[in-house]
Structure 1
């Protein structure tokens, strides 16, 4: 074995020891609170990827879409016939299009009641609250009400929250926070969102 191969083997052995140590320390089992936030693209896409993974194992999954629900969604269209998937959408779509605080608030509260039902159901393995961060930012939904539902959900249930500017209280509660960074975005350079790629 030459020097380069020896160094590589030693490096990989050290890496294996570190990974094995972390695996040995991870002894707690329960549902998680994941937050996908930041200004970059891919938060909702990442959530739908996890939905697909959970459905692949036969788990029950529920999704509430607070902003993009009225927009085309290839992932939703592909998965909607799965008997283990329940999707609820906020009836108004993009709030910057409606520009009506009263109707947007009511639509948010209506779909939030569905979310509360999901968050209380121990048979649901994964709940996705897609773009809920905007509902808190715009004041359509009280963060204390959201926190209470999250804190009292079934122990085995995992929740994914997506959206920019996640509320600090939700970040404090989260087990995992992934922040998407927008280094460059085609839309900002005049390129239209692409069907099958962006939605």
Structure 2
């Protein structure tokens, strides 16, 4: 490791623009997109800001670690799907759930009552053609100006990346599955 001197001044000038709601995207092949989104949701909730989380691929009855924690905190988190496509018994039903879920999420975004709305794993129904991209982009453009929205999932469409204010690509360097180590509760649930 190369030792370096700590910075002695800020690297960039302070932004002078007006605060407004942002569109943020977490994409890429690496782990941590949803986890980072949940961290941002916790940060907003900790500041007393209303947050709503929609998970497009999780079932409504899901009780993963994030569901348990957010329930204790009073942050709404809703599963809108029926699991990942390889677990689905009926892909047309999965597509219909995605469309119904989008209608709920869109209503929340347009209502303007939340500081942050997380659309977790929304890129999958977009990529599978279960949701049309243009209505999602239109909603993001037309949402009330104070609403921040964070969209997650691999393979974010170029049009979404172009619209977004901040895009973070999560890259895979190394993954424990490559070593034969299975998913672990509390880490990947």
What TM-score, normalized to structure 1? 0.86
The 5-angstrom pairing of residues 165-184 of structure 1 reads: 165-184=155-174
Question: 1:79 aligns to what?
Answer: 70
Alpha-carbon distance in 1 for matches of 2:63, 2:184: 11
Q: Secondary structure at the match of 1:92?
A: coil
Alignment match, 1:196: 186
In the other structure, the counterpart of 2:86 is 96
Q: What is the Cα deviation at residue 189 of structure 1?
A: 2.1
Q: How does 1:1-199 map to 2 (within 5 A)?
A: 12-13=7-8, 15-16=9-10, 18-19=11-12, 21=13, 23=14, 25-69=15-59, 71-83=62-74, 85-199=75-189
Q: Which residue of 2 aligns with 1:5?
A: none
Structure number with the higher helix fraction is 1
In 2, the alpha carbon distance for the partners of 1:12 and 1:58 equals 32
Please report the TM-score for the alignment, with normalisation by the length of structure 2.
0.90
1:122 positional shift: 1.7
Deviation at 1:95, TM superposition (A): 1.8
| Deviations 1:150-196 (CA, angstroms, capped at 9, x unpaired) | 11111011100000000111000011111111111111221111111
Q: Secondary structure at the match of 1:156?
A: coil
Contact 1:71 1:93 in 2 (8 A): no
**Root-mean-square deviation (Å):** 1.7
Structure 1 position 82, deviation (Å)? 3.3
Deviation at 1:28, TM superposition (A): 2.4
TM-fit CA distance, 1:99: 4.8
Q: Is the 8 A contact 2:110 2:143 kept in 1?
A: yes
Task: Judge which range, 157-166 or 181-190, deviates more.
Answer: 181-190
User: How many equivalent pairs are there?
Assistant: 184
Take 1:12 and 1:43, find their aligned partners in 2: how far apart are those partners?
29
Instruction: Please give the secondary structure, in 2, of the residue aligned with 1:120.
Output: helix
Residues 82-132 of structure 1: CA deviation (Å, up to 9, x unaligned):
34x222212412222115221011111111111011111222100000000
Runs of 5+ consecutive residues of structure 2 not aligned to the other structure = none
Does the Cα contact within 8 Å between 2:58 and 2:82 map onto a contact in 1? no
Distance in 1, matches of 2:7 and 2:120, equals 39
